[in-house]
Structure 1
Amino acid sequence: MRILQVAHGFPPDQMAGAEVYTWAVSRELARLGHDVHVFVPGVRPNHPNLARVEERVDGLPVTRLNLLPGSPHRLEITYWNPTVDRCFAEYLRDLRPEVIHVQHTLGLSAGVFQVAREAGIPTLFTLHDFWYHCPRGQRITPRNHLCEQVEPWRCALCVGTWRAVWFRKWGTNYVRGRTAETRGEGVATRALKLPLRTLKYIADEAWRAPILHRNELLLDAMLKADRILAPSRFLMERFVEQGVPAERLHFSEYGMDDAPFRAAPPRPVRDPAARPVRFGFVGTLMPTKGPDLLVEAFQSLPHEGATLELFGAGTGPKTEGYIEGMKRSNRHPGVHFRGRFDNKRIAEILAGLDVLVVPSRWWENAPLTIHESVMARMPVVVSDHGGMRELAERFGNALGFRPNDPADLARVLRRFLDEPGLWAQLAPKRPVRSVHDDVVGLIEHYRALVGPR
Structure 2
Amino acid sequence: MQITLLTPHYQPHFEGGTEFAARTQARALSRRGHGVRIVSGTDRPHRGEDVEEALVDGLAVRFLPRLPGEVFDLALARPRLDPLLRAEIAGSDLVHVHHWSTLTGSVVRDLTDAGVPVVVTLHDLFATCPRFFRVPPAADISCPAGEELESCASCIAPEAPGWSTARLLAGLRERRAAFAAELDAAAAIVCPSASHAERIARHLPLPTGRVHIVPHGLCVEFEPAPEGARTSLAFAGAAGETLRVLFLGHLGAAKGAGDLVRALRDLPGVELLLLGAEVESGCIGELRRAAGATPLTFGGAYRVEELARRVAELGGAHLVALPSRVAESYGLVLDEALALGLPAWVSDRGAPPERVGSAGRVLPAENPSRWRASFEEVLADPALLAAERAAVPERTRTARQAAVELESIYRDLLS
Query: TM over 0.5: same fold?
Result: yes
Q: Secondary structure at the match of 1:75?
A: coil
1:402 maps to what in 2? Answer: 364
1:75 maps to what in 2? Answer: 73
Shift in alpha-carbon separation, 1:148–1:429, aligned structure 2, 3 A: farther
Where do 4+ consecutive residues of structure 1 move more than 6 Å? 261-266
Asked if the contact 2:323–2:346 (Cα under 8 Å) also holds between the matched residues in 1, the reply is: yes
TM-score after normalising by structure 2: 0.87
Asked if the contact 2:77–2:104 (Cα under 8 Å) also holds between the matched residues in 1, the reply is: yes
Aligned-partner residue type, residue 333 of structure 2: T
Q: Secondary structure at the match of 1:256?
A: coil
The alignment-based identity, stated in percent, is: 27
Give 1:17-56 correspondences, 5 Å limit: 17-44=17-44, 48=47, 51-56=50-55
Asked if the contact 1:26–1:36 (Cα under 8 Å) also holds between the matched residues in 2, the reply is: yes
Q: Secondary structure at the match of 2:408?
A: helix
Deviation at 1:369, TM superposition (A): 0.8
Shift in alpha-carbon separation, 1:152–1:411, aligned structure 2, 3 A: same
2:56 maps to what in 1? Answer: 57
Q: Deviations over 1:306-348 (max 9, x none)?
A: 2222222245xxx325555434444345213333222321233
Give 1:229-244 correspondences, 5 Å limit: 229-242=190-203, 243-244=205-206
Deviation at 1:232, TM superposition (A): 1.2
Radius of gyration: which is bigger?
Answer: 1
Q: Deviations over 1:265-318 (max 9, x none)?
A: 77666242363222122222332222121122221322xx22222222245xxx
Shift in alpha-carbon separation, 1:85–1:281, aligned structure 2, 3 A: farther
Give 1:27-426 correspondences, 5 Å limit: 27-44=27-44, 48=47, 51-67=50-66, 70-71=68-69, 75-76=73-74, 79-93=76-90, 96-143=91-138, 147=143, 149-150=145-146, 151-160=148-157, 163-164=160-161, 166-167=163-164, 202=165, 205-242=166-203, 243-257=205-219, 259-260=221-222, 270-273=234-237, 275-302=241-268, 305-315=269-279, 319-322=280-283, 324-332=285-293, 334-351=295-312, 352-393=316-357, 396-426=358-388
Shift in alpha-carbon separation, 1:267–1:149, aligned structure 2, 3 A: same
- Any gaps of 5 or more consecutive residues in structure 1? 168-201
The total of aligned residue pairs comes to 403
- Any gaps of 5 or more consecutive residues in structure 2? none
Deviation at 1:83, TM superposition (A): 2.8
Asked if the contact 2:245–2:270 (Cα under 8 Å) also holds between the matched residues in 1, the reply is: yes
Q: Secondary structure at the match of 1:36?
A: strand
Q: Deviations over 1:162-208 (max 9, x none)?
A: 845543xxxxxxxxxxxxxxxxxxxxxxxxxxxxxxxxxx3xx1342
Asked if the contact 1:355–1:379 (Cα under 8 Å) also holds between the matched residues in 2, the reply is: yes
Distance in 1 between residues matched to 2:43 and 2:167, nearest whole Å: 31
Q: Deviations over 1:333-390 (max 9, x none)?
A: 5213333222321233345332211111122121011122222221111112331221
Asked if the contact 1:49–1:66 (Cα under 8 Å) also holds between the matched residues in 2, the reply is: no
Q: Secondary structure at the match of 1:374?
A: helix
TM-score after normalising by structure 1: 0.80
**More divergent stretch after superposition (280-289 vs 347-356):** 347-356
Shift in alpha-carbon separation, 1:326–1:65, aligned structure 2, 3 A: farther
Distance in 1 between residues matched to 2:408 and 2:51, nearest whole Å: 31
